[in-house]
Amino acid sequence: MVLHLSTFHLEGGAGVAAARLHQALLKSGIESSLLAAFPSKEEQNVYGLGNSKWDLRKMWARFTAERLLFYPQEADQSVRFAFSPAGIGADISAHPLVRKADILHLHWINFGFLSLQSLEKLFALNKPIVWTMHDMWTMTGGCHYNRGCERFLSHCQYCPYLAKPDIYDISFTQFEAKKALYSQAKTALISPSLWLDTLAKKAALTRNLNSFCIPNCIDTTLFRPVDKLAARHAFGLPADKKLILFTGANIQDKRKGFVYFKQALECMKSVSAGIEVMLFGKADVSGFSDFPVPVHYIGKISDTETMVNAYNAADLIVVPSLEDNLPNTIMEAMACGTPAVGFDTGGIPEMIDHQLNGFVAEQRSADSLAAGISWVLEQNGSPALSAAAREKVVNHYSESLIASRYQAIYNSLLNG
């Protein structure tokens, strides 16, 4: 039995990816369970860390304590959730599902779910460990994305996320703890993107571990093209406008590049007649008061059918992330036949084939992003462009394909 361990379930990119892989394995006949700190809803073989209100309070207490542990050390508020000290977490080494599992499959496990000490106790069980890295935390001294710092390639210290960087700061001590932890593990690291896999093979902590690149998966029978006009009608959106989609778990997160999206639309003022924007995700709507084109904010979406309608309602999706792994939003939109425009960063150029199923823009260039948006809109809803977008997802990220690749990793570890 494979046991997936994830802080979140159907929340955030990593939680969604973990849940989708779990379901894909079940469909492929592989015995799979998922243990989450914060399960979103009842689902087959998905379990919460505890079943009582008291258990949930304890999990929230660990989350709060873990954040408070970092609070005095953070450089500023913008890095508050971008660095995980991993000093507080639950001991699940004696949990019945952990004991039963043949393979322990780690996903994103921070925010008070598992600490470094928790991981040490899991690794001591001597069970094979598969770890899907949804960001860079596994290979750094605590940051989830390095923001240009390359000390993780040799040894983390003088961390720019900290108020008082030092040679022996908490990034140094976490780096040392991970080095000791990994030395005793029977582990396979999985990177959803070639970009992250390349870093894993270079990073001092992970370069000597078995590492592979396997993308996230998606159910292409759920995420599929539907009638665009009907999808727009479902949200009360205009039928005669060009609609550009921007979305994210937190739209105001600087890493998501929303400021470049706004600047790109300002660059397009001379041709922006008939262009409007739709947004879904967590957002402060007051931030759209001076937007260069009309905005339709449709809130946070959690159910699949509504999400599929939202992707189908758009003419294109724009994902100007400054740092990202393999964004679910691009995969979801393209599965619905909606082409994507994104920066040449992280795993984005692996997903978007330039001017075939979307447009890859120059990093941090609002002008290039505007050119990409214009290029897609000039295709005027080309059936070939939409078909190419969906074909990329079906051929590279389908459930059965990704499940079989993970099964090969599991079998390899179990057979020594």
The whole-number average pLDDT for the span 111-122 is: 96
- What pLDDT score was predicted for residue 252? 66
The predicted-structure confidence for 315-334, as pLDDT tens digits, reads as follows 999 999 999 999 999 999 99
**Domain count along the chain:** 2
Whether 250 is covered by a domain: the verdict is: yes
Whether 235 is covered by a domain: the verdict is: yes
391, 409: one domain: no
126, 141: one domain: yes
- What pLDDT score was predicted for residue 78? 87
Whether 150 is covered by a domain: the verdict is: yes
The pLDDT confidence band at residue 3, using thresholds 50, 70 and 90, is very high
Q: What average pLDDT does the chain have? A: 94
Higher-confidence position of 253 and 341? 341
Whether 87 is covered by a domain: the verdict is: yes
Q: How far apart are CA 382 and CA 321, in angstroms?
A: 25
The predicted-structure confidence for 355-390, as pLDDT tens digits, reads as follows 999 999 999 999 999 999 999 999 988 999 999 999
Cβ–Cβ < 8 Å for 37, 68: no
Whether 177 is covered by a domain: the verdict is: yes
The predicted-structure confidence for 229-259, as pLDDT tens digits, reads as follows 999 999 999 999 999 999 865 666 788 898 9
63, 142: one domain: yes
Percent of the chain predicted with pLDDT > 90? 83
Whether 403 is covered by a domain: the verdict is: yes
The whole-number average pLDDT for the span 291-303 is: 89
256, 330: one domain: yes
The predicted-structure confidence for 176-202, as pLDDT tens digits, reads as follows 999 999 987 789 999 999 999 999 999
Cβ–Cβ < 8 Å for 248, 256: yes
99, 177: one domain: yes
48, 183: one domain: yes
276, 130: one domain: no
370, 409: one domain: no
- Name the nearest CA neighbour of 136 among 165, 171, 99, 173: 171
At 143, the amino acid letter reads C
194, 50: one domain: yes
- What pLDDT score was predicted for residue 249? 57
Using the structure block, give the residue that is written with the tokens 């005027």.
Answer: 380
- The number of helices, as runs of H, and strands, as runs of E, in the chain is 14, 13
205, 249: one domain: no
118, 104: one domain: yes
Cβ–Cβ < 8 Å for 282, 208: no
CATH of the domain at 179: 3.40.50.2000
What angle (nearest 5°) sits at the alpha carbon of residue 361, between those of residues 359 and 366? Answer: 125
Percent of the chain predicted with pLDDT > 70? 98
109, 130: one domain: yes
Q: How far apart are CA 70 and CA 204, in angstroms?
A: 24
- What pLDDT score was predicted for residue 244? 97
Whether 223 is covered by a domain: the verdict is: no
| DSSP string for residues in 237-286 | --SSSEEEEEEEEETT-GGG-HHHHHHHHHHTGGG-TTEEEEEEEE--GG
Q: How far apart are CA 230 and CA 232, in angstroms?
A: 5
Domain that holds residue 376: 228-396
- What pLDDT score was predicted for residue 250? 65
In 303-323, which positions are buried (b, 16+ CB within 10 angstroms) versus exposed (e)?
eeeebbbbbbbbbbbbbbbbb
The pTM score is 0.94
The 3-state DSSP class for residue 101 equals: coil
The pLDDT confidence band at residue 281, using thresholds 50, 70 and 90, is confident
- Name the nearest CA neighbour of 197 among 136, 243, 141: 136
Whether 222 is covered by a domain: the verdict is: no
